Amino acid sequence: MTAQSTPDVTPQNAPVRVAVLGCGVVGTEVVRLLTTQTADLAARVGAPLELVGVAVRNLATPRDPVVDPALLTDDAEVLVDRADIVVEVVGGIEPARTLLLRALRGGASVVTANKALLAEDGPTLYAAADAAGVDIYFEAAVAGAIPLVRPVRESLTGDRVRRVLGIVNGTTNFVLDRMATDGLDLDAAVAEAQELGYAEADPTADVEGYDAAAKAAILASLAFHTRVSLADVDRQGITGVTAEDVAWAARTGHVVKLLAIAEHRPADQDGPEGVQVRVHPALVPQDHPLAGVRGAFNAVFVEAEAAGELMFYGRGAGGAPTASAVLGDLVSAARHRVHGGRGPAESFYAALPVLPARAARTRYQIRLDVTDRPGVLAQVATVLAEHGVSIEAVRQSVQPAEAVARLVITTHEATEAALSATVAAIAEHDSVREVVSVLRVEGV
Our measurement of the distance from residue 341's CA atom to the centroid of its chain's CA atoms, rounded to an integer in Å, reads 29
> Is-catalytic flag, 215?
yes
Paired residues of 88 in beta bridges: 21, 112
Please tell me whether 292 is known to bind a ligand: no
Q: Which of 153, 178, 215, 264 is catalytic?
A: 215
Give the containing element (helix H, strand E) for 256: strand 254-265
pLDDT tens digit sequence for 286-340? 999 999 999 999 999 999 999 999 999 998 777 888 999 999 999 999 999 999 9
Report d(CA 37, CA 430) in Å as an integer. Answer: 70
Across the chain, which distance is largest between two alpha carbons, in Å? 85
Q: What per-residue confidence (pLDDT) applies to 1?
A: 41
Q: What per-residue confidence (pLDDT) applies to 372?
A: 86
Q: What per-residue confidence (pLDDT) applies to 359?
A: 87
Which burial class, exposed, middle or buried, applies to 158 when counting CB atoms under 10 A from its CB (0-12, 13-18, 19+)? exposed
Q: What is the pTM of this model?
A: 0.92
Amino acid at 122: G
Please tell me whether 59 is known to bind a ligand: no
Q: Alpha helices, DSSP H only, in 84-209? A: 96-105, 115-132, 149-150, 170-182, 186-195, 204-207
Paired residues of 285 in beta bridges: 254
Whether 203 contacts 190, CB under 8 Å: yes
Q: What per-residue confidence (pLDDT) applies to 373?
A: 86
pLDDT tens digit sequence for 371-402? 988 888 899 999 999 999 999 999 888 776 67
Our measurement of the distance from residue 234's CA atom to the centroid of its chain's CA atoms, rounded to an integer in Å, reads 13
Q: Alpha helices, DSSP H only, in 21-169? A: 25-36, 38-45, 76-81, 96-105, 115-132, 149-150
- What b/e readout covers 293-304, taking b as 16+ CB neighbours within 10 angstroms? beebbbbbbbbb
Paired residues of 441 in beta bridges: 283, 363
Q: How many CB atoms lie within 10 A of CB 35?
A: 14
Please tell me whether 26 is known to bind a ligand: yes
The domains found in the chain, sorted by start residue, are 16-144+321-339 (3.40.50.720), 149-314 (3.30.360.10), 360-441 (3.30.70.260)
Report d(CA 411, CA 245) in Å as an integer. Answer: 17
Q: Alpha helices, DSSP H only, in 21-91? A: 25-36, 38-45, 76-81
Radius of gyration of the chain (CA): 24
Q: What per-residue confidence (pLDDT) applies to 199?
A: 87
Closest C-alpha to 367, from 282, 439, 416: 439
Beta strands in 290-428 (DSSP E): 297-304, 308-315, 361-371, 391-399, 404-411, 414-415
Paired residues of 314 in beta bridges: 298
Alpha-carbon distance values, 351 to 119, 225, 267, 303, 347 (Å): 16, 7, 15, 20, 9
Report d(CA 237, CA 213) in Å as an integer. Answer: 10
Please tell me whether 21 is known to bind a ligand: yes
Report d(CA 43, CA 50) in Å as an integer. Answer: 13
Please tell me whether 25 is known to bind a ligand: yes
Q: What per-residue confidence (pLDDT) applies to 3?
A: 43
Q: How many CB atoms lie within 10 A of CB 179?
A: 24
Sign of the dihedral defined by the CA atoms of residues 419, 425, 428, 433, in that order: negative
- Percent of the chain's residues with pLDDT above 90: 84
Please tell me whether 27 is known to bind a ligand: yes
Residues of the chain short of pLDDT 70, as ranges, are: 1-12, 400-401
Alpha-carbon distance values, 102 to 2, 78, 79, 109, 132 (Å): 21, 10, 11, 11, 11
